[in-house]
Structure 1
Amino acid sequence: MLFSHLPDEIFQALTGSNREIIEFVLRDLSEIFYDHAEDPIKEKSVIIESIEDSLHRLDSLSWQDEDKDFESPKTIHEFALRIYHRLVKTGWLVEEQELYRVTVLMTPQVSMLLRSLVEISRHGKRNYGATVLSILSNLESVSQHPAERGITLRQAAEASREFSAHLNQILLGIRSLQRELFASREPKDIVAGFFDLFVEGILIADYKTIKTSNNPFRFRRQILELCQSFLSDPGLLQQISGGYADQQLIPLDKAKAQVERDCRDILQTFNSIEQRLERIDEYRYRLEKRAADTARYMDSSRPGLANKIAGIISDVAKFDVPPVLKTMTQVRVVGVESAAQPGRRREPPPPRVIQQVQVSADAIALRDRQRRFHEARQVTVAKLQSYLERQMADAQSKHILDFTIESVEDFVCFDHLRYIGSLGVSAKRVERSFDVVFTKQYLNVHEFVECREFNVVRRSQR
């Protein structure tokens, strides 16, 4: 039975005259009991205070007396107590008492029910890119470690089934919304319904990326190849089935059947993805066209005239002989001024064969020379220490004119010897080995650089 694990009175709180207040309070309580960082068992005072906070946020508070034996609540605290006892009585909350301490919790079944109802009311958008990437990541993990992580194939299959079900929900939601909007004759209702129900509730979060190169389904081929490899390789299938059997404590043949079913579900979902997206796109185009035409009519002096003309034509079609319209002389019923022409649907561009561009050898050589030049100009502590060790050799001190400059790296290191003290913490190990002693005289070193005279002295190691 569907409701065998729930209290019999669970829905009574949502059927009375105060159900809107109860729904508002339950939505806030769900956030308290879903907090993963806190204890799921709450103090009674905390729950009552939370109910009071929810009631304070309500614009109007009107409590309908359903029980004539009690007086109507006069204060917010009395309102909160009445709602709290109502939730306890109907099974939404469970009280537990230890001596003088009263705690409140939700049973797992009630918590799952409340979570599902909140998700249905929110009906938030889905991000397809994250879903497809999670499926691909799980399949790659199974491919690399079939025995240890084969059970993650089950998670990929579940995500694929939820993904497929969400596509069906979008398709059915757009169809029902299309019927509602097409049946409406009020332009404001059509435009408001399009933005509130479709754009905010049904449209996919990353829908715009579906037609781009960075679309969420660019990994579809890899997903299909991985699933087909699982089914075609007997050894790999045996290892994954063994992981299923070990994790779920089921026979090997049953585990193998589950693996095959999960792989086929993933294959079926991603093989039919293009056809389903085309159908969704077709219904989306009709809705957008309807909303655009309606918005255009709202800007004109005769809004909704296209619907009126369609109604007139439908009424005229019922007669065997068309009636004579005596009151519409010198009036253009159907024309550019009476009904705007809808824009044509833009067709996607034809597929283009991608060809790899060959880079010339000269460009590659120039890029390598530029990279080596930039690397030579970079100053690192390792380069400085190597340059000093090479120049100092076994000498205890060395004058500025005795240093040699044979390359770009040598020039950069020589130029930065004067600034070792300001190169940061990483240069401290160079300062522990060498000391730069300056004088007040300026010298021209090898006609490269003019700077103060200095001697590099090797520090004694203690």
Structure 2
Amino acid sequence: MLFKHLPDELFQALSGSNKTLIEAVLIDLADIFYDHADDPIKDKSVIIESIEDTLHKLDTLAWHDDQKESFDSPKTIHDYALRIYHRLVSTGWLVEEQELYRVSVLMTPQISMLLKALIEISHHGKRNYGATVLSILSNLESVANHPTERGVTLSQSAEAARDFSAHLNQILLGIRSLQLELFESRDPKAIVAGFFDLFVEGILITDYKTLKTSNNPFRFRRQILELTHAFLSDLDVLDNIAQCYADQQLISMDKAKAMVEKDCRDIIQTFSNIEQRLERIDEYRYRLEKRAADTARYMDSSRPGMANKIAGIISDAAKFDAPPVLKGMIGSRFIGVASAAQPSKRREPPPPRIMTPAEVSAEAIKVRDQQRRFHEARQVTLPKMESYLEKQLSNNPSKHILDFTIESVEDFVCFDHLRYVGSLGVSAKKIEDAFEIQFTHRYLDVHSFVECREFTVVRRSKAPC
């Protein structure tokens, strides 16, 4: 049974007249017992001090004696803390252990799990699913790359997908119930307050606004579905993942395969129908926001639906041959300018557009490659110049300007920059150490390419031959 691990008196503390005090104390005690860096077994004095700190934060203190106890009515914060402490011990929330004169306090695993679940329910609200979807994708990519070693992480992805799907259902049902509740209300303040308190602060996920943008958390859905389908279609990968399941969980191979297939299908089902579920959530959200917007707009001017009433008055007045005359209504502003205001209409998303890749002709690709190669050839780099000089001088100690050959664009660029080696900066220091350029005052026409001063390139003695 579900409650066989819990004390019978456990929920008495949360159902009596003092449940507000007990709830506030339990929420703060959860932080103490959930401290992962500390010992889960606490001293009694630490628990009493924590209860006192919680009571100091409350506005008012009032204790109701629901049952006869041996304690007097509390008068100080310490008395209140002792009374609450003994109530938690008597109902099973806290367990005392005594060793000589030292009294320790702890929570059983079942009570701790229950308290954690209750706090999560009370704080159940906004979530950010961008990180959740990224973690699922990261785990699936890890499984695809290392199915034998990390295949068990597929179960974590499936659990995260199931939790995500359950939360979407909770959002949908929460918006629907809130919509019915607010539609039945006739109090404008209650409608606006309920919208912000229950919907904006309690139901809406934090990254909801990004769902309609290019940076939305579900932009990796296609990769997730492709990886998951690949696991099911590739029998070798499926066997490797199942083997990892069997080794990690100590189960049979057949049972492991069944678990792998179930996890994959849960992920596929979650991310396949995500758009339809988000559209339903968006539809309920639009109705709810429209109701709240109408109410807020007409709170200070008139009532919701006044625009339709004004249209009806105008239609009735149009039936008369002469407009009726209102007597005694001069100066009365029973209908204001803002009364006929209508809320902005829902903006429909643009229809989907089929993206077709533009075809580039083979001639354009050829010209682009030729231009790219030409620009690369014009670039002056140190390795190019060193290679050109070594090729020209070969084993010769020196070479005259007219003996250099120019067979390509690279050769011409290197030859033209030999005259400016001294101004190329630190990067050309290596060439200056290996070769010396000796100029004369005479100008020569070299191979009908370029006219420049005559020079001779001499290999320095320390340069390799």
Q: Which category describes the TM-score, using the shorter chain as reference length?
A: 0.7 to 0.9
Quote the offset at 1:407 in angstroms.
1.2
Is residue 161–residue 266 contact of structure 1 (8 Å, CA) maintained in 2? yes
Q: Which residue of 2 aligns with 1:22?
A: 22
User: In the superposition, relative to structure 1, how do residues 334 and 224 fare at CA in structure 2: closer, same or farther (>3 Å)?
Assistant: farther
Residue 405, structure 1, aligned to residue 405, structure 2: no
Q: Counterpart amino acid of 2:15?
A: T
Quote the offset at 1:204 in angstroms.
1.1
Q: Where do 1:382-397 residues align within 5 Å?
A: none
User: In the superposition, relative to structure 1, how do residues 260 and 333 fare at CA in structure 2: closer, same or farther (>3 Å)?
Assistant: farther
Q: Which residue of 1 aligns with 2:389?
A: none
Residue 4, structure 1, aligned to residue 4, structure 2: yes
State the alpha-carbon separation in 1 of the partners of residues 344 and 335 from structure 2: 17
State the alpha-carbon separation in 2 of the partners of residues 234 and 81 from structure 1: 64
State the alpha-carbon separation in 2 of the partners of residues 144 and 7 from structure 1: 48
SS of equivalent to 1:97 = strand
Quote the offset at 1:335 in angstroms.
11
State the alpha-carbon separation in 1 of the partners of residues 357 and 105 from structure 2: 66
Residue 271, structure 1, aligned to residue 288, structure 2: no
In structure 1, the gaps of 5 or more residues are: 313-326, 377-403, 414-462
Is residue 332–residue 338 contact of structure 1 (8 Å, CA) maintained in 2? no
Residue 110, structure 1, aligned to residue 127, structure 2: no
Q: Which residue of 2 aligns with 1:35?
A: 35
**What is the CA deviation profile of residues 32-65 of structure 1, one whole-angstrom value per residue up to 9, with x for unaligned ones?**
1111111111111000000000000000001112
Work out the number of aligned pairs and report it. 369
Quote the offset at 1:238 in angstroms.
0.7
Residue 145, structure 1, aligned to residue 146, structure 2: yes
User: In the superposition, relative to structure 1, how do residues 210 and 175 fare at CA in structure 2: closer, same or farther (>3 Å)?
Assistant: same
State the alpha-carbon separation in 1 of the partners of residues 61 and 333 from structure 2: 55
Q: Which residue of 2 aligns with 1:459?
A: none
Is residue 30–residue 114 contact of structure 1 (8 Å, CA) maintained in 2? yes
Quote the offset at 1:186 in angstroms.
1.1
Quote the offset at 1:338 in angstroms.
4.7
Quote the offset at 1:361 in angstroms.
4.8
State the alpha-carbon separation in 1 of the partners of residues 228 and 111 from structure 2: 37
Q: Counterpart amino acid of 1:38?
A: D
Q: Which residue of 1 aligns with 2:219?
A: 218
Q: Counterpart amino acid of 2:296?
A: A
Q: Counterpart amino acid of 2:280?
A: R
Is residue 307–residue 339 contact of structure 2 (8 Å, CA) maintained in 1? no
Quote the offset at 1:365 in angstroms.
6.0
Is residue 125–residue 202 contact of structure 2 (8 Å, CA) maintained in 1? yes
Quote the offset at 1:67 in angstroms.
3.2
TM-score normalised according to structure 2 size: 0.72
Q: Counterpart amino acid of 2:231?
A: F
SS of equivalent to 1:96 = strand
State the alpha-carbon separation in 2 of the partners of residues 3 and 334 from structure 1: 61
Is residue 134–residue 156 contact of structure 1 (8 Å, CA) maintained in 2? yes
**What is the CA deviation profile of residues 89-108 of structure 1, one whole-angstrom value per residue up to 9, with x for unaligned ones?**
11111111111111111111
**What is the CA deviation profile of residues 317-349 of structure 1, one whole-angstrom value per residue up to 9, with x for unaligned ones?**
xxxxxxxxxx99999999986553232110112
Q: Which residue of 2 aligns with 1:157?
A: 158
**What is the CA deviation profile of residues 355-402 of structure 1, one whole-angstrom value per residue up to 9, with x for unaligned ones?**
67889959x969x89xx89x99xxxxxxxxxxxxxxxxxxxxxxxxxx
Quote the offset at 1:350 in angstroms.
2.7
Is residue 157–residue 263 contact of structure 1 (8 Å, CA) maintained in 2? yes
User: In the superposition, relative to structure 1, how do residues 62 and 255 fare at CA in structure 2: closer, same or farther (>3 Å)?
Assistant: same
Q: Where do 1:240-255 residues align within 5 Å?
A: 240-255=241-256
State the alpha-carbon separation in 1 of the partners of residues 125 and 424 from structure 2: 63
SS of equivalent to 1:202 = coil
Q: Which residue of 1 aligns with 2:57?
A: 57
In structure 2, the gaps of 5 or more residues are: 313-325, 383-420, 431-465
Quote the offset at 1:71 in angstroms.
1.6
User: In the superposition, relative to structure 1, how do residues 410 and 222 fare at CA in structure 2: closer, same or farther (>3 Å)?
Assistant: closer
Q: Counterpart amino acid of 2:43?
A: E
Aligned-pair RMSD on alpha carbons? 3.4
Is residue 293–residue 340 contact of structure 1 (8 Å, CA) maintained in 2? no
- Percent sequence identity over matched residues? 70
Rg larger in structure:
2
Residue 91, structure 1, aligned to residue 92, structure 2: yes
State the alpha-carbon separation in 2 of the partners of residues 225 and 258 from structure 1: 19
SS of equivalent to 1:47 = helix
User: In the superposition, relative to structure 1, how do residues 336 and 412 fare at CA in structure 2: closer, same or farther (>3 Å)?
Assistant: farther
Quote the offset at 1:2 in angstroms.
1.2
Is residue 164–residue 269 contact of structure 1 (8 Å, CA) maintained in 2? yes
State the alpha-carbon separation in 1 of the partners of residues 346 and 86 from structure 2: 58
Quote the offset at 1:4 in angstroms.
1.1
